[in-house]
A and B are shown apart, each in its own frame.
Chain A
Amino acid sequence: MNPEYRVTASRPREKRQAYVEKEDVVIEGIDISGTWNRMYEPREIFDYDTTQMDRLTALEGAESMGWCYQCAQCVPACPVDNAGGDYGPRKVFRRLQLGMDLFDHSDLWLCTTCMNCLRVCPKEVDMIKIMPAARAAAVLDGKVPGELQEMFQKVAEYGNPMGESARKRVRWTKGLDVDIRILPKEKEASPVEVLWFVGDFYAYHQRGIDAAQAMARVFSRLGVDFGILGVDERCDGDSQRLAGEPGLFEELAQHNIEQFAKYDFQKIVVSGPHAYNAIKNEYPALGGTYDVEHYTQFLAARLDEVTAKLKGTFEKKVTFHDPCYLGRHNGEYEAPRQVLAAVPGVEMIEMYRCRQQGYCCGGGGGGMWLDGTAADRQVERLSENRVKEAVEVGAEVLAVCCPYEVSRFEDAVKSTNNEGRLEVLDIIEILDQCMESA
């Protein structure tokens, strides 16, 4: 990073605004003589060139960057700063004052939109809106990290970030001993209670496939009437939107909304918090309003039925990682914990940073596809920071319910030399194991 933008460096003395202490000052008949009357003189803040700040705050959504008053509450809350990233909303503001062109600087790509800064910000500087707006402007200008561009291209071409064939989206169902209604394959699809939005990682990533198959088995054992969109499903688009490709998000959302319109269902159940956030909060503006639940909410609402099927036990110390987009973004902290607590044998341990203060895995806001960019700036990955915490509290299992997290945390377990000490499992896998071992 350009040392010019290093926030910790103080300005040279000769550049500081010299304050004036007047010996005798009388204002409106009141004598305020003394050292403190310097507050009536121009302060250092007026020295700065506001060009870069103005460029940013002129963007729709990015206005609140200008509201920062440098209180620094956000810096210890920022997971990137915690991972040695020398980053935080306050620092971005300060660097803009010092002349940083955010549109051409790595600070633009570090924020995971985890929302922990907004939680503590007294001025409501909203990085969840600032960063996507600034990134969209940079992407339009062709300034996008290669690894992220590659992901955009794959999603635009194939409807999933892996660049896998759209036709192979149902490959995970092969060899599964469960009848799955693939709605587009039915000539005239009859009504279905639950439309399960499977998602990219469950459909294509090997560890996601494990969870998808577990989900299908659990639904089947519970007698849930469910169907999937099969090859007609596409990426939910939320991470693409937050990473600066709103046009791609709209295209994907419109496609999915068109597919939803073809079927008669009561609710959508999603595998992941990012799809949950997109369908719940963003799709309505594009004409698609649905009753949508994350799978842990769906299961928590029928906990008696779930419990009745849990014949086996899971005698392990388990800690739960709150996904940012289920927790802070959508206020759901209890459903995953209720489901986990229902599993016989589970000993729940909370990590230090949990619920509202939950730590980010690093995958949100496009972070899944910015590993190289982030690695240049951080001492460690956010997922590594988190895995160390799980080990420290004595957990044997790190339970997750976001499809991005299993692979992120499994990699982090290896890179922090914790293999054999900590197992990463999707909550649905734990349920499936305990139903299977009946």
Chain B
Amino acid sequence: MKIAVLLKRVPDLVEDLVVDASGKALDADEVKLTLNEFDDHALEEALLLKESVGASVAAIALEGEDVDKMLFTALAKGADQAIKVTGVAPVERNLQLARVFAKVVEEGGYDLLLTGVQATDDRDGQVGAMVAALLERPFVSVVTSVLPEGEGVKILKEYAGGVMAEFEVSLPSVLGIQAARQAPRYAPVSKVRQVQQDSTLETVDCGAAEGMPGMSVVVMTPPERGEGAQMLDSVEEVIEVLASKGVI
């Protein structure tokens, strides 16, 4: 089985998110990027699958800030191949991205594509579904477990209210991963450094993405701050406040 995983870097929520002067986007100078959490889970699930059936795993990402280190880290965790897609930027629509990845996935002959269920920056969860549509492959999202089953895979999908469903999915296919079966593993720094010395990243030049009609951000605003809460220490205070509001 040949598995590919898409990795995306997104703004790290540890930093305050600042809207830039245009009022339509985050201030790039204030943003620190980190691996999309759901993609980290997709990679973990791929590595677990590799460990159980001996599959190969390729980590794929668009070029950009700190992407090399992210890809080397994926190799240190156990991925067999790391592919950096170049020449595509700027990407304005997910469909552009999906076309690029569909091409890479098809040419690479991957049986199974795993993506995070969504990226925390656009919250669209579209790329996996679009790649599946472009390649005419089955797609299941909000997946929490992928296990080998015959010629395909057996997966768990989570519905609202925690209802779980088991699916059998034939290959080739595309899955959106909500959570891996275990917390994403840690790659020790010495291992990442070793991989950086011993391995190389493969580069695929996909050429500039075609322009797309579609939507554009009109205005972006940071969350509005509430008035805050008053902490009450005793029952008497609670009664007093309720009485003053005319509730009792």
Contact = CB atoms under 8 A, between A and B. Distances in A.
Interface of A: 136, 139-140, 142, 144, 146, 149, 152-153, 156-158, 163-165, 167, 245-248, 250-251
A165 B189 contact: no
A153 B186 CA distance: 7
B14 interface: yes
Interface in B170-192: 183, 185-186, 188-192
A250 B193 CA distance: 11
Given A146-B183, A157-B34, A247-B193, A139 B14 contact: no
Given A246-B190, A247-B190, A247-B193, A142 B14 contact: no
A324 B152 CA distance: 56
Per CB-CB distance, the 3 closest pairs between chain A and chain B, nearest first, are A247-B190, A247-B189, A248-B189
Interface residues of B, number: 14
Nearest to A157: B34
B14 A158 contact: yes
Contacts of A136: 188, 190
Contact of A140 (B32, B183, B188, B193): B188
Given A146-B183, A157-B34, A248 B14 contact: no
A140 B194 CA distance: 12
A250 B14 contact: no
B15 A245 contact: no
24 contacts: A136-B188, A140-B188, A140-B191, A142-B185, A142-B186, A144-B186, A149-B183, A149-B185, A149-B186, A152-B186, A152-B188, A158-B14, A164-B14, A165-B15, A165-B32, A245-B188, A245-B189, A246-B190, A247-B190, A247-B191, A247-B193, A248-B188, A250-B190, A251-B189
Contacts of A140: 188, 190-191
B51 to A, nearest CB: 10
Contact of A250 (B16, B183, B186, B189): B189
Among B186, B190, B192, the most chain A Cβ lie within 10 Å of the Cβ of: B186
Contacts of A165: 14-16, 32
B48 to A, nearest CB: 12
Nearest to B15: A165
A167 B15 contact: yes
Contacts of A152: 186, 188
At the interface, is chain A mostly helix, strand, loop or mixed? helix
Contacts of A157: 34
A139 B190 CA distance: 11
A153 B73 CA distance: 12
A241 to B, nearest CB: 11
A137 B32 CA distance: 32
Interface in B1-57: 14-16, 32, 34
B36 to A, nearest CB: 14
Nearest to A252: B189
A158 B186 CA distance: 15
Interface in B143-195: 183, 185-186, 188-193
A247 B185 CA distance: 16
A133 to B, nearest CB: 13
Given A139-B188, A140-B188, A156-B189, A163 B14 contact: yes
A251 B196 CA distance: 14
A163 B14 CA distance: 8
Contacts of B16: 165
Contacts of B14: 158, 163-165
Candidate in B185, B190, B192 with the most chain A CB atoms within 10 angstroms: B190
Interface in B188-207: 188-193
Contacts of A247: 188-193
A246 B192 CA distance: 12
Contacts of A163: 14
A103 B231 CA distance: 48
A142 B16 CA distance: 33
A149 B189 CA distance: 12
A251 B188 CA distance: 11
Contacts of B185: 142, 149
B89 to A, nearest CB: 24
A139 B191 CA distance: 10
Contacts of A158: 14
Nearest to A141: B188
A140 B186 CA distance: 9
Contacts of A248: 188-189
A139 B192 CA distance: 13
A49 B6 CA distance: 47
Nearest to B187: A156
A24 to B, nearest CB: 62
A429 B65 CA distance: 43
B117 to A, nearest CB: 21
A91 B32 CA distance: 47
